[in-house]
Structure 1
Amino acid sequence: MIKEVIVVEGRDDITAVKKAVDAELIAVGGFGINKKVIDRIKEAQKRQGVIVLTDPDFAGEKIRRIISKRVPGIKHAYISQSEGTKDDDIGVENACEEAIIRALNNAKCTVKEKREEFTTSDMVFFKLTGDKTSKMRREKLGYELGIGYCNSNQFVSRLNNFGITKEEFIEAYKKLNLE
């Protein structure tokens, strides 16, 4: 598994990267990078490091510059225009798995053991799934931990991939009075 969180532009990019490697990803949603997304990227950089892999076009470079300006110390992965072009469409989603892996290796990504400190059982125990208040609990806890809101499966993945410890989790849980 890749230690760093990979930042891409959209959902199709996430699908392409997930086919190539096991990693946590953040999609910025194009030019509309809001404060919530930047805060998640900052948290990811602080905890695990970040690699930005955007489309090899003007928009991709602009997004890369915006992130670089707001989040210092990130790594950059690049695919070429020819690797990312399919039927006159340019994007990471068009790159083959080998091109994505090469780009990440050139960015000096770090490989780590897959971490499974949190499980679905934890989500049930802390009422983060299977309860009428689960959505609200994940939303508040995700904000407090800096990992954002998501469904319970993705929440488990983010807790593990962002390196959140049980102690941090319980402290945030108690602070929010979710008991």
Structure 2
Amino acid sequence: MKKKIKEVIVVEGKDDISAVKNAVDAEVFQVNGHAVRKNKSIEILKLAYENKGLIILTDPDYAGEEIRKYLCKHFPNAKNAYISRVSGTKDGDIGVENASPKDIITALEKARFSLDNSENIFNLDLMIDYNLIGKDNSADLRALLGAELGIGYSNGKQFMAKLNRYGISLEEFKKAYEKVNKR
């Protein structure tokens, strides 16, 4: 059984996500390489950083180190996991996606990840009770609530996953829900 990691693991690309998910059970966030400077990744990661913590796992090359420095500037208490150049190289290509699950687990262990033993607060019944699934206005309500909570818009299933992933408390959720319903 894979270890369930509490922190959100930050990687550069979609192939890195697959490699990490093959190794551990964790939420993995892709910053799209140097595009992290232009997109809204920092805003989205801020919530995860505050509630769950981050582990930065970038490629063992110059670009990866530049991205790591940029992320560490914004998230100084983030944990850092490192894949060696040898472990991350395959056929001349360097990247996290080339590392074995064992090497990824070793890198995360050295970063001192936390195991996630928590139960998910948000479930399908709660989503239905709050009209976030199954009603004509559910999508609009999720959009308003997502904006209020700073987690963005998603379909019902993804919205529920985000609520759990970013460690949003039931109290915080209820306050935001009341606020958007007063509009």
TM-score by shorter chain over 0.5: yes
- Within the candidate set 12, 32, 36, 1:9 is matched to 12
**What corresponds to 1:47 in structure 2?**
51
SS state at 1:117 partner? coil
Percent identity of the aligned residues? 50
Distance verdict in 2 for CA 1:150–1:29, change over 3 Å: farther
Question: What is the number of equivalent residue pairs in this alignment?
Answer: 179
More divergent stretch after superposition (140-149 vs 114-123): 140-149
Query: In structure 1, what residue type is equivalent to 2:103?
Result: A
- Is 1:120 the counterpart of 2:124? The answer is yes
TM-score, L = length of structure 2: 0.87
- Within the candidate set 168, 171, 182, 1:167 is matched to 171
In structure 1, stretches of 5+ residues that fail to align are: none
Superposed, which structure 2 residues align to 1:152-163 within 5 Å?
Answer: 152-163=156-167
- 1:121-172 deviation line (CA, Å, top 9, x unaligned): 2233333333444343333322322333333323222212222111111111
- Within the candidate set 93, 98, 102, 1:98 is matched to 102
Distance verdict in 2 for CA 1:151–1:94, change over 3 Å: farther
Q: 1:49 & 1:65 partners in 2: Cα distance?
A: 17
Q: Is the 8 A contact 1:55 1:90 kept in 2?
A: yes
Distance verdict in 2 for CA 1:66–1:140, change over 3 Å: farther
Q: 1:137 & 1:54 partners in 2: Cα distance?
A: 36
Larger Rg: 2
Q: 1:32 & 1:103 partners in 2: Cα distance?
A: 24
Q: CA deviation at 1:37?
A: 1.3
- 1:73-123 deviation line (CA, Å, top 9, x unaligned): 111001012212222222112211111111110000011214221112223
Q: 1:41 & 1:63 partners in 2: Cα distance?
A: 14
SS state at 1:78 partner? coil
Q: Is the 8 A contact 1:77 1:104 kept in 2?
A: yes
- Is 1:23 the counterpart of 2:26? The answer is yes
Q: CA deviation at 1:23?
A: 1.2
Q: 1:148 & 1:173 partners in 2: Cα distance?
A: 14
Q: Is the 8 A contact 1:7 1:26 kept in 2?
A: yes
TM-score, L = length of structure 1: 0.89
In structure 2, stretches of 5+ residues that fail to align are: none
**What corresponds to 1:36 in structure 2?**
40
